[in-house]
Structure formats: C-alpha cells, structure tokens
C-alpha cells in the first residue's frame, strides 16, 4: 500500500470489506483498510463458550425466498454449518409469569391475531406509501388503527416475538412504512438458519477479503488495531489520524462504523459535519439485542421435536421473553439461550453477570422447579457498552423520513458513508451491510472515473 492511497476504508466489518472488494474489482487497487480491533468481521463475531464456538453478534441466515441471498450462497459454498430453526411450536411452549404453561389453543388464537395484524401492517404500509408519501406512523399506531393494541402480558410476549425479536425495539418507536413488509424475509425467505460453525459467521467477510488481499494478517492494505480518532477533510483530500499517533492521507474515505459509533465522540471530524448530516445521524436508532448463553451441568427443560423455543410471559414487556435450547445446534451441550432487547438490554448491560444469572435462575425455578442445578457458566455480550459498536444494529424510527435516511448515506465532500444503516432494503442485517459496501464503493468509483454521481448532490458540504 502506498503512503497516500486513493481510498482509506475505515472498518473491516461486512460493509467495509465488501466496499474494499468492490473498489478493487472496479480498478481502484490503491486502498488502505484501517480497523480498530485485531480482527476482520465486526458484528459477525464468534467466541468460545464452554468448549463450543458461539456467535456473539449475527446468528441467523435467511433462506427459501424468491430472491437469491448472497450471504446464504457464500455460506453454502463454504459449507458453513447451520441448523434450520423451527418456531412453529412456540405456542405450545408459552409459560406464565409464575410458572405453568398456557393452554396452547389460547396462545394459538393470540398468535393468529398477531399474524393477521402483521398482514394488516404490510397492507397499510403499502397504502401509506402509495397515497401519503410524507406520512409514516409507528407499528403500534397501525396496531391501534386496527383496534388491536397488545395489552395483556400474553399478547405482549407474542407481539415481542412478532416484532421486537426482529427489530430489537418495540413497535411504539419503529417505523411502519420502512419495516413492513419485511423485505429481508419477503426476498430471502423465512427459513432461519442458525450458524453454529467452529469457523464462525465471520468466515464470510474473511472469504470476501481473501479475494483481494494476499493475507488477512500481513497484507499492507489491511492495518488492524488502528483506532481512527480524527478525520480532517477538505477539497484537497482527507487526513486520517489514529489513536497510536499515526497519520494517513488519501483522496477519499469510506467510513463503515456503526451509526452508534457515529453518534458517539470516538471520531472527531474537522470541520464538524454539516447540520443535515448530524441530524440524520443523531435521529436514527441504534438498538441493542442481547443474546445470553447459559450452560448447565445437565438438561432440565423439555427436549425433542417441538420444544426448541419457549416464551416467558411477564407483566414487564421484554423481561427475558424468548428462549431457545441449543440441543439441535450443539447436541449434548446443555445450553439455554435467551434473547433480550432494547431497554431491558440497556438495563442488564449495567448489571454484573451474577445479578443477571440470579434473575434468570428465579425465572427458571418458577418454570422447572427449585431443584434445578446452578449454571456452570454464563455469557452476556454487551454490544451497547462496546465503544466500537455502541449497539447491535440500526432500526428505522417512526417519523424519520426517507429524505433524512438518504442524508445518512450521502457523502460529505470526500468522506463517504457505508454500513448496514445506510442500506434501505435490508438495514440491520448482514445482507444490508454487504449491499451497502457495494453501493457506496460503486458511487465512489463512478465519481472518481466520471466526476459525476447518481441521485445525490455530492457537493453538499454545508
């Protein structure tokens, strides 16, 4: 790599790597990738937990839809070990707050209502898009229009399963128009493949990187452990400064950090980003989705067909609501896996592991009796507290216009922005990050080659 590359890509997650690969394929070989952590992958991140490889970040791939999913295609090519999840029986496995199962007929009825409500949301969203271009509402508002606001703990946990489990935020704050219909599932399918492979989900961005880098550790175009702290930009180009005192010059930058990082003060911009850009950043939503793994010495929960998932109902919406045993993914592992989101995630991220374990054990004792064993270990990822992520993925808030969303992706002079949050169709997902990198790199290639750009005014510096 030259001392003054044409493009510096900041971040080696899915979007940064797919942007760099696209630049390379577009004839721009003079690039430098600066990544804060010691690894490629970003929010695709594996770890070891009680002798197994589990995913701290993204876990599921979508399949079975009418549109090819490039991530799933790569996963197939790499023979990534996945397990198809079956949610159908969840209505037979819904527990009351104080223990004991709800009659499955009752839960099925409520789930049917929730499915009909989802269908209404999709239709209503299309109507709004066709007739009222500037109007958006929250998903909750659409539920109210239908006179079906979930109110009881049972209705709320089913609603969580239908919405928060995907968006990581409640319907109250989520855009109807930009969430329904759910494009990732409509296009790529509703078959959910759980990644459980010793190489981790991160093998996908690594595989992409290997197509243009000679090595993932020693290619001079990739510098790991480089925390960018300052971006100085002008019509002459960009100066990027890292925490270890290094300075890099380039003509352009592609910045792939999460919208959570953009909202924080990790990176200082000189001059300050224009107001339209800052508003687009600060008004968007970075959610937290927490996947807690708990390892026990033996199983005390039901196993076998139709038991994979269970719901826990509580008057407090989102209180340890969705559980999965990992018997299919990791046979004999004796691991329970519970998902928490949004405000509950923010709350538990502040707690020590022992307190989280105590809350979990109180619930499990209600469901399975006082004689259950103590966990051998617990794993609680804290994405919201991690300064290089500041959350799990983005969510489109209600009342956040498409125009503002476009501003989130627009470049400011020579500084281009990418990342899952800049994609409209699959934002939040690994596929969104993959396509975002391609789109941003193509915009930049177009500008470098033809000094023109499609769809946006590149010269909006102020």
> Measured from the CB atom, is 117 or 407 closer to ligand FAD?
407
CB of 259 to ligand FAD, least distance (A): 9
The tokens for 295 are 């390892």
CA distance 26 to 417: 18
The residue ranges that bind ligand FAD (CB under 6 A) are: 10-16, 34-37, 42-44, 57-60, 227-228, 256-258, 261, 266-267, 289, 291, 383, 388-389, 392-393, 419-420, 428-430, 432-433
433: buried, middle or exposed (CB in 10 Å: 19+, 13-18, 0-12)? buried
> Measured from the CB atom, is 59 or 313 closer to ligand FAD?
59
Alpha helices in 265-424, H assignment, sequence order: 275-283, 342-349, 353-368, 402-409
CB of 388 to ligand FAD, least distance (A): 4
CB of 243 to ligand FAD, least distance (A): 8
> Measured from the CB atom, is 184 or 357 closer to ligand FAD?
184
Q: Give which of 195, 81, 177 is closest to 398, Cα–Cα.
A: 177
The tokens for 124 are 């209503």
CA distance 129 to 56: 36
Please check whether residue 231 is in contact with residue 268, taking contact to mean a CB–CB distance below 8 angstroms.
yes
Q: Which residues contact 331 (CB under 8 A, 6 or more apart)?
A: none
CA distance 214 to 224: 15
Q: What DSSP letter does each residue of 192-255 carry, written as one string?
A: EEEE--TT-TTHHHHHHHHTT-S-TTT-TTEE-S--EEEEEEETTEEEEEETTS-EEEESEEEE
CB of 234 to ligand FAD, least distance (A): 20
> Measured from the CB atom, is 177 or 241 closer to ligand FAD?
241
CB of 166 to ligand FAD, least distance (A): 9
> Measured from the CB atom, is 43 or 177 closer to ligand FAD?
43
> Measured from the CB atom, is 11 or 318 closer to ligand FAD?
11
Beta pairing class for 94-95 and 309-312: parallel
The tokens for 99 are 């223990």
CA dihedral 156, 189, 204, 339 (to 10 degrees): 10
CA distance 254 to 388: 16
> Measured from the CB atom, is 400 or 426 closer to ligand FAD?
426
CB of 13 to ligand FAD, least distance (A): 2
CA dihedral 102, 104, 107, 113 (to 10 degrees): -170
CB of 256 to ligand FAD, least distance (A): 5
**DSSP bridge partners of 65:** none
CB of 422 to ligand FAD, least distance (A): 8
CB of 40 to ligand FAD, least distance (A): 8
CB of 330 to ligand FAD, least distance (A): 17
Q: Give which of 317, 325, 338 is closest to 152, Cα–Cα.
A: 317
> Measured from the CB atom, is 134 or 244 closer to ligand FAD?
244
> Measured from the CB atom, is 76 or 299 closer to ligand FAD?
76
CB of 126 to ligand FAD, least distance (A): 24
> Measured from the CB atom, is 84 or 146 closer to ligand FAD?
84
Q: What DSSP letter does each residue of 95-132 carry, written as one string?
A: E-TTSSBPPHHHHHHHHHHHHHHHHHHHHHHHHHHHH-
Q: Give which of 404, 427, 150 is closest to 276, Cα–Cα.
A: 404
> Measured from the CB atom, is 23 or 58 closer to ligand FAD?
58
């Amino acid at each position: 790599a030259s001392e003054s590359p044409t493009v510096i890509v900041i971040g080696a997650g899915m979007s940064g790597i797919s942007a760099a690969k696209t630049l390379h394929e577009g004839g721009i070989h003079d690039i430098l990738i600066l990544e804060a952590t010691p690894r490629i992958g970003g929010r695709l991140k594996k770890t070891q937990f009680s002798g197994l490889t589990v995913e701290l970040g993204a876990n599921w791939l979508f399949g079975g839809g009418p549109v090819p999913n490039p991530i799933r295609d790569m996963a197939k090519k790499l023979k990534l070990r996945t397990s198809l999840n079956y949610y159908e029986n969840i209505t037979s496995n819904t527990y009351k707050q104080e223990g004991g199962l709800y009659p499955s007929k009752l839960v099925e009825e409520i789930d049917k209502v929730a499915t009909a409500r989802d269908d209404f949301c999709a239709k209503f969203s299309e109507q709004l898009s066709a007739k009222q271009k500037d109007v958006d509402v929250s998903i909750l508002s659409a539920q109210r229009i239908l006179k079906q606001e979930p109110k009881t703990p049972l209705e709320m946990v089913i609603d969580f399963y239908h919405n928060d489990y995907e968006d990581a935020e409640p319907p109250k704050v989520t855009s109807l128009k930009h969430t329904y219909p759910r494009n990732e599932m409509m296009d790529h399918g509703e078959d959910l493949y759980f990644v459980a492979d010793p190489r981790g989900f991160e093998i996908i961005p690594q595989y992409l990187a290997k197509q243009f880098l000679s090595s993932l550790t020693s290619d001079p175009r990739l510098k790991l452990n480089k925390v960018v702290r300052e971006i100085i930009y002008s019509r002459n180009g960009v100066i990027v400064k890292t925490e270890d005192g290094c300075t890099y010059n380039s003509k352009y930058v592609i910045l792939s950090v999460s919208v959570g990082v953009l909202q924080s003060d990790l990176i200082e911009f000189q001059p300050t980003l224009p107001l339209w850009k800052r508003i687009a950043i600060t008004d968007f939503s970075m959610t937290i989705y927490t996947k807690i793994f708990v390892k026990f010495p033996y199983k005390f929960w039901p196993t076998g067909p139709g038991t994979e998932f269970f719901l826990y109902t509580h008057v407090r919406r989102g209180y340890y609501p969705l559980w999965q045993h990992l018997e299919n993914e990791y046979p004999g592992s004796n691991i329970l896996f519970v998902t928490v989101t949004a405000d509950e995630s923010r709350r538990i991220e502040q707690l020590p592991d022992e307190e989280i374990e105590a809350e979990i054990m109180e619930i499990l004792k209600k469901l399975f009796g006082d004689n259950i064993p103590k966990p051998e270990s617990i794993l609680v990822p804290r994405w919201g507290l991690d300064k290089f992520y500041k959350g799990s993925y983005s969510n489109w808030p209600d009342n956040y216009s498409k125009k503002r969303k476009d501003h989130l992706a627009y470049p400011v002079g020579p500084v281009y922005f990418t990342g899952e949050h800049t994609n409209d169709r699959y934002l939040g997902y690994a596929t969104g990050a993959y396509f975002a990198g391609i789109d941003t790199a193509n915009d930049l290639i177009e500008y470098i080659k033809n000094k023109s750009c499609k769809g946006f005014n590149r010269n909006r510096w102020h």
